């Protein structure tokens, strides 16, 4: 049972345009969400997070939006750069636990 879902396995975006990566979850107990970026042969790198008490968090070119009623979050990257090409994982955590539940990832390719 996949509690965190990333339904788009891949996304291709032109440099300078916006990249939107989506994530859905089923467990209404999740209260903290994170996005990680992963390059080949490296471990995931933390990108941005959001608590369930917020609906938006912004850090430079990266913004995460949370819609609790829809159990949906999205990561916006604007403007997209070729160096953003990587696999992006959405992760969630429930109260009283530190473990993360990951989605299956979306491979983003930013082309010139």
Partner 1 sequence: GAGVSQSPRYKVAKRGQDVALRCDPISGHVSLFWYQQALGQGPEFLTYFQNEAQLDKSGLPSDRFFAERPEGSVSTLKIQRTQQEDSAVYLCASSLVAGVVSEQYFGPGTRLTVT
**Does the footprint of partner 1 cover residue 65 (CB under 8 A)?**
no
Q: Binder to partner 1 among 25, 44, 80, 86 (CB under 8 A)?
A: 44
**Does the footprint of partner 1 cover residue 42 (CB under 8 A)?**
yes
Placement of tokens 């390719």 in the chain: 109
What x-and-dash track marks residues 81-100 binding partner 1 by CB under 8 A?
A: --------x-x-x---xxxx
Q: What is the spatial distance between Cα 13 and Cα 77, in angstroms, rounded to a whole number?
A: 10
**Does the footprint of partner 1 cover residue 46 (CB under 8 A)?**
yes
Q: Binder to partner 1 among 45, 55, 59, 82 (CB under 8 A)?
A: 45
Q: Binder to partner 1 among 22, 32, 68, 109 (CB under 8 A)?
A: 32
Q: Where are the beta strands (DSSP E) in 1-105?
A: 4-5, 10-14, 19-25, 32-38, 45-51, 56-59, 62-67, 72-77, 86-93, 101-102
CB 56 within 8 A of CB 68: no
Q: Residues near 53 by Cβ (< 8 Å), separated by ≥ 6? A: none
Q: What is the spatial distance between Cα 39 and Cα 36, in angstroms, rounded to a whole number?
A: 10
**Does the footprint of partner 1 cover residue 37 (CB under 8 A)?**
no
Interface of this chain with partner 1, residues 1 to 30, rule: CB under 8 A:
4, 6
Sites of contact with partner 1 (CB under 8 A): 4, 6, 32, 34, 36, 41-46, 49, 89, 91, 93, 97-105
């Amino acid at each position: 049972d996949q509690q965190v879902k990333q339904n788009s396995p891949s996304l291709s975006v032109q440099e300078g345009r916006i990249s939107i990566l989506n994530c859905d979850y089923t467990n209404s107990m999740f209260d903290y969400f994170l996005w990680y970026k992963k390059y080949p042969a490296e471990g995931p790198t933390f990108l941005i997070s959001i608590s369930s008490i917020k609906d938006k968090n912004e850090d430079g070119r990266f913004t995460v939006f949370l819609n609790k009623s829809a159990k949906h979050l999205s990561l916006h990257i604007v403007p997209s750069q070729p160096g953003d090409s990587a696999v992006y994982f959405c992760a969630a955590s429930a109260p009283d636990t530190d473990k993360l539940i990951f989605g299956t990832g979306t491979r983003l390719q930013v082309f010139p």
